[in-house]
Structure 1
Amino acid sequence: MAKQFTKLDRRALRQLKPGHKVQEHGIGFERLDSGDGLYTVNIMVDGERIHRVVGRESEGTTRTACEAFIEKARTDARHDRLSLPRGRKVALSFKDAATRYIAKLREAGGKNIDTKDQHLRQHLVPFFGATPLSKISAFDVERYKKHRLGQVVQAGGDWRSGKRVARDTGRTTSPGTVNRELATLSHLFSQSGEWGWISSAKPKMRRMKEGDGRIVYLTQDQVHAFLAAAELSNSTQLHPFVLIALETSMRMSEVLSIRKEHVNIAQRVIYIPKAKAGARDQPMTENLAVFLEKYIKQSVTKESEWLFPSLTKKDGTPMSKSGHTVAIQKPFKDAAIAAGLDPTKVVRHTLRHTAISHLVQSGVDLPTVKRISGHKTLSMVERYSHQSGAHIQAAMDKLQSRYAAIKLS
């Protein structure tokens, strides 16, 4: 439908006095002191401001010429081009780059795509937004780090009116969390250069110091107390979740996404098709194998393919798009409090730390621990060799005994 002009019709323009201006539908007209008329255009096209002088009345410029200019600019923009300046591409925004980045990773089968997608959707895109990808500098990255460290960590709460209500945990974002988000940002820039989206080098990203490296884990008494509290929880899924995590060292996402078909009771392994370091067979204890055999028969419906099926809405459809439970924060926190533990320090990943720590402290060699935990490198497992662990003191006692035996002989 053609635009209707009232301020820029011929009769109104002839009556316009020198020094006066009118503007309508992105077209401007000014009556100059000489009596000549000057046409301009001032519009937004795909987030880019175009402000141009089109020409004078004395040169034959008309409102129709301005309309044609606008239409051409918008047509060029639809083809990712701006007519002015000639040959210049529309800058790719960070938001659009993030969308294309995840799409290409899924197409090529990249690693940790869901985690990268979460980093982008929840934190990186809201911060960088429409900023052109090529304009993001090291200073902007530093601003992002400062912004994220000041944020309070939120967790999914109960379902209300069909939506999950987020709640504050009381904790602020850790340097380690920010570093993982920076890793996603760095990879996006590296791939953007490889795919030809940007020609400049990616901004420098300095990793943040992650503290003294000590890992929080539960003692044997705390493990028993927490298991007892989980068994009394109103959530029927909490106790099996805690037990599996403690007796396998699996991550939260790995536990909650277990399919029944992937549990092999006879061989005492759980197949994890999408583990962080690649697909693996996860060993489990005999105690857990006995528990899972009974749990699957008595607590998991035959219709469900998941060990932890999602709660359903009133119409019977699962609340989670994946079909399985994706969060278990609230009952976990309640159980931690009931067990006399600090819920700000004891989180879901603490169970993985606990399992690996006790494997190391039991004298299991690090390559075997690596095989069980699914870590990529031995150096990552070495972090669990706590200096204050009882196994360290036991090793030193053995050294003392050996020296004493030599002295006596």
Structure 2
Amino acid sequence: MPTVELLGGKVQIYQRGNSRFWQARASVGGKQRQFSTKQEGQELAAKAAESWYFKLHGQAEAGVLNDRPTFRKAADQFLKEYGVITEGERSEKWTESHAIRLRVHLLPFFGALPLDKVTPGKVQEYRVHRMTNYAAPNPNSKSQHKLKPKSPARSTLHDEVVTLRMVLKTAIRHGWLEYLPDLTPPYRTQGKITHRPWFSREEYKQLYEAARAYAKEPFRSHLKWNAEQVYDFVLFMANTGLRPDEAFNLQH
């Protein structure tokens, strides 16, 4: 493990065998501290390590050095655990969506905050931030899509708060946070009410009679089995009241 000393030995950078990034360590405020430079090259790693050291040293001199676990630490732990624990139970796309929400929106806003500073008021500040800064370029986004001319949808903000809540629950499990703050939006208004459409008696009769006739005499003989399945499905759905997604998830 090669080690390089910087600033007269006050900071050291080194490489672990299992990581491509250089790590840094230094003693600040009477405590040994470590930091990943996120750099593969030695020169850039040295600059990142020195910047990190000067920042910590300045905080220590000002008496504001904070040793409490941050939101970023909890987010890293959440991402490390979630994909492994839920493997096979959640789609890869859903798991990735948590990482994207954190990288693009949540970490830039909450990342450096101590976990106990993620208060209901701070979460409301986040909502206001998202609703008022949607048109500004986001350097954390890798998307090539054009900026949207309207604020994020209610469902988008809801999903982001779901990810936020899961990170905070991870922090609680690890003893970094005592309790989950109230994340419900104040001044909450009722969302759009949608009603499931239904067939009238005459429409349903027309549907099942057409499906039955097609099951008996499909356009092509090799489609007969499929036509019979469609007819059975029409009867099953109409008489059970299941939603399509519920029906598709049935197993036997």
Query: Normalization by structure 2: what TM-score?
Result: 0.49
Task: Flag the structure with larger Rg.
Answer: 1
**Structure number having the greater helix percentage:** 2
